[in-house]
Amino acid sequence: MTRFDDGLSSPFEIVEPLTWRAPIIFNSPHSGAVYPPEFIEASRIDLPALRRSEDSFMDDMIEGLSADGIAVVRVNFPRSYVDVNREPYELDPRMFNGRLPSFANTRSMRVAGGLGTIPRVVGDGQEIYRERLSVEDGLSRIEALYKPYHRALRRLIGKVHEMYGTAILVDCHSMPSVGISRDEPRRPDVVIGDRYGTSCAPLLTTLVEETLAALGYTVGRNKPYAGGFITEHYGNPAGGLHTIQIELNRAIYMDERKRERSERFAEVATDFAALARTLVALPLGNLGPFEAAAE
């Protein structure tokens, strides 16, 4: 287990298998629930409201998968404090006292929605902070938490790629069962994101979809979630780097209002482990050569 200590006792964790069976990494970047006291004090909303941004229990869903010969990564700090599934400097100037550095991306769609690297709002749109933050505070969070996480993830992916000549990163998330817009259709049990066929070999997306469908889940692709920064940044199928995002509908494994595991949690976790074993059994030669899927 690799740990990085700089204020939080363990901001993120990497668990490598004792014996590697496949070049696969399961990653949970949004399930962190360790809230720094100063963050709670600076917030205008209470802890239950802050937790609405969490992909609750996804880290628990994947924690035992190292026994199947694959690596597991989990982030312990909350995405409402620092979101590692963004560019390193997607920052909203309205949040800060002082001038942001010139390299900050202040105009992305995610910043406009309040969901940059240092989020302005939680998942349901509530403003987080009572007062503006100092620029130094925002940049220090990125230096202390965001950058070490991505350095460690890159090292792990590089190690796996060197061992096998390819690497598969499965980015694990959960989504609210109902969208903000009333016009949005009912969400399926699972949404697979592969950046519209560009972040991994098409066979990988098809295999995940068919495996989950055979287990009884309704499955969608790329809508409303095609994959964030991690999927886009680490997915390079032509170079043997395959990244796929999986979004589980929270209603199938937890009580969204109480934020508690439901009776189905164990069943869903068992099915997730079955998916991992299916990926382990995938012949690596079947992943290439890569051709982008047609739009």
Pairwise CA distance, residues 18 & 64, whole Å: 12
Residue range 76-119, pLDDT digits in tens: 999 999 999 999 999 999 999 999 999 999 999 999 999 999 99
**Average pLDDT of the chain to the nearest whole number:** 93
Pairing verdict, β 71-75 and 12-15: antiparallel
Query: Which alpha helices (H) appear in the chain, and where do they start and end?
Result: 37-42, 47-50, 58-62, 109-112, 135-141, 147-164, 202-214, 229-234, 265-280
CA distance 118 to 116: 5
120 contacts 94 by C-beta, under 8 angstroms: yes
Instruction: Break the chain into its structural domains and give their ranges.
Output: 2-77+144-282
Query: CB–CB of 195/235 below 8 Å?
Result: yes
Q: How many CA atoms lie within 13 A of 53 on its CB side?
A: 31
C-alpha 210 chain-centroid distance = 22
Does the pLDDT of residue 4 top 60, yes or no? Answer: no
Burial class (CB in 10 A: 0-12, 13-18, 19+), 50: buried
Rounded to the nearest angstrom, the gap between the alpha carbon of residue 185 and the centroid of all alpha carbons in its chain is 23
The whole-number average pLDDT for the span 1-30 is: 81
In angstroms, the CA 76 to CA 157 distance is 20
pLDDT beyond 70 at 126: yes
Average pLDDT in the 3-7 region? 41
Query: Please, are residues 15 and 59 in contact by the beta-carbon 8 Å criterion?
Result: no
pLDDT for residue 295 is more than 50: no
Q: Rounded to whole angstroms, how far apart are CA atoms 48 and 260?
A: 12
Provide the residue type at 148 as one letter: P
The 10s digit of each residue's pLDDT in 236-271 is 999 999 999 999 999 999 999 999 999 999 999 999
What are residue 284's DSSP bridge partners?
Answer: none
- Per 3-state DSSP, what percentage of the chain is helix, strand, and coil (rounded to 5)? 35, 20, 45
Widest pairwise Cα distance in the chain: 54
Return the structure tokens found at 213: 């469908």
| pLDDT interval class at 179 (50, 70, 90) | confident
Q: Are 245 and 171 in contact (CB under 8 A)?
A: yes
Distances 290 to 135, 142, 243, 250 between C-alpha atoms, Å: 42, 34, 13, 33
| The pair of three-digit structure tokens given for residue 206, joined into one six-digit string | 């098809």
3-state secondary structure of 83: coil
Mean pLDDT within 1-8:
42
CA dist., res. 27 & res. 197, Å (int):
20
CATH of 2-77+144-282, one of 3.30.1450.10, 1.10.260.40, 3.30.70.3000, 3.40.630.40: 3.40.630.40
Residue with tokens 């933050």: 133
